[in-house]
Amino acid sequence: MTARGSLTALGLGALLLAGCAPALAPEGVGDTPAHHHALGMKFVESGELARASDEFERARALDPGYAPAWEGLGLVALGRNDLGAAESALRTARGRDATYVPAALGLARVLAAKGDLDGARREADAALALAPRNARAHLVRGQVALKAFDFGGAEASFARALELDPVLAEARREWERSVKIRQAAPGTMVARRIALADPIRRGELAALLATELGIEDRLRRRRPEIFDASFRPPGAAPAGAVVATPSDVTGHWARNAIELVLRLSLMETYPDLGFHPDEPVTRAALATTLEQVVAVALNDAGLKTRYLGQASAFPDVRSDHFAYNAIVVVTTRGLMEAERPSGAFRLEAPVAGPDALLALRKLAEGL
């Protein structure tokens, strides 16, 4: 057993032994399991996992059979990505009180993170059977459906969660994400997996450009000459010629896609000649890539400088920014949008999979 495995086993053993320990006597009128659980949950929400753990341990010590204390310890372990300890604690919570809905929901989240989607679905359904009007139960059921690529079922679950609790922000975010995924209509397994990426990375973007949305076929119809090795625009190397493979994509799962988009000049390498396939894609980077695809498809090199010198309509983007022209191109063509109501473009914000898929779907349909 590895050192990490030994520590995890010791941690699980400690939790189980703790469940058999006698209860501590409270030291004051407020020293109750419910108080410590409530405070621990606030610390979980703020990301203060060590403080949360202290509170849940105190709740458990005061009442070893108190299911919410075990649920809290499971959430702390989940936050630390210790899925084994999380599952053990949450199963203990379920054993202490089979009607405690948050324990079933927590266990569903852990099982989904471990890839046991059938088990996760069973736990979420058990929670819904106990509390059919619990908005968070519908939220978690939708999140499990998303991981299973059941995008329609996920959207319906998120919509139901919002119907029950219109101010549940997480449900609204998930519902908006599922709507974008449906609109983007990912048709292959690769596209479905990328739809759940947050953020999307350069290698994944190359894969979408190369194969998932049929952009290559559209380019072949619009500009067949760029696939002809004999074609040589003035002062340029032949388009379609073999491009040196960046050293940082050797062995990468998206290597062939990356080589294709480089050969078609749809994406570029960095000054260090690397592609940086695992680098997150920002909104500025996505805009420049979309602009490049449009320029290549239309054979319109002037598109990339057409809006330079104009007054910027975006409060966070200067007109001399390298991505300004691209931002105008993509927003005027409806491929991307500025933030509402501020009008900011949020240049450095990472792009999630659904947003990238939807932008590329709109682009492909317009070519």
229 and 134 within one domain: no
206 and 137 within one domain: no
252 and 137 within one domain: no
Split into its structural domains, the chain has a count of 2
Question: Which of 113, 142, 171 is the endpoint of a domain?
Answer: 142
Per-residue confidence (pLDDT) for residue 102, from 0 to 100: 97
Q: Is the pTM of this model over 0.75?
A: yes
Q: Using CA atoms, how far apart are residues 89 and 17, in angstroms rounded to an integer?
A: 12
132 and 264 within one domain: no
Q: Is residue 33 part of a domain?
A: yes
Per-residue confidence (pLDDT) for residue 131, from 0 to 100: 97
206 and 108 within one domain: no
288 and 213 within one domain: yes
Q: Is residue 164 part of a domain?
A: no
In the numeric block, the tokens 């009128």 are attached to: 29
Per-residue confidence (pLDDT) for residue 189, from 0 to 100: 87
Q: Is residue 157 part of a domain?
A: no
Q: Is residue 149 part of a domain?
A: no
Q: Is residue 185 part of a domain?
A: no
The CATH number covering residue 101 comes to: 1.25.40.10
Question: Which of 142, 158, 186 is the endpoint of a domain?
Answer: 142
The answer to whether residues 87 and 111 touch, using CB atoms and an 8 Å cutoff, is yes
Residue 282 bridge partners (DSSP): 350
Q: Is residue 354 part of a domain?
A: yes
Residue 280 bridge partners (DSSP): 201
126 and 34 within one domain: yes
Residue 350 bridge partners (DSSP): 282
232 and 107 within one domain: no
79 and 219 within one domain: no
Per-residue confidence (pLDDT) for residue 224, from 0 to 100: 73
Question: Which of 117, 142, 167 is the endpoint of a domain?
Answer: 142
Q: Is residue 160 part of a domain?
A: no
The backbone region for 265, taken as left when phi is positive above 0, alpha when psi lies in -120 to 50, beta otherwise, is left
Mean pLDDT (10-residue bins), the chain, 367 residues: 46 52 77 96 96 97 96 97 97 97 98 97 98 98 96 97 96 94 86 92 93 72 66 46 80 93 90 95 96 90 90 92 95 94 94 93 84
Spell out the residues 6+ positions from residue 162 whose beta carbon is closer than 8 angstroms to its own.
135, 168, 171, 172, 175
The backbone region for 278, taken as left when phi is positive above 0, alpha when psi lies in -120 to 50, beta otherwise, is alpha
Q: Using CA atoms, how far apart are residues 106 and 101, in angstroms rounded to an integer?
A: 9
254 and 119 within one domain: no
In the numeric block, the tokens 């896609």 are attached to: 257
Residue-number span of the structural domain to which 338 is assigned? 198-366
Q: Is residue 46 part of a domain?
A: yes
Per-residue confidence (pLDDT) for residue 6, from 0 to 100: 45
109 and 226 within one domain: no
The answer to whether residues 9 and 39 touch, using CB atoms and an 8 Å cutoff, is no
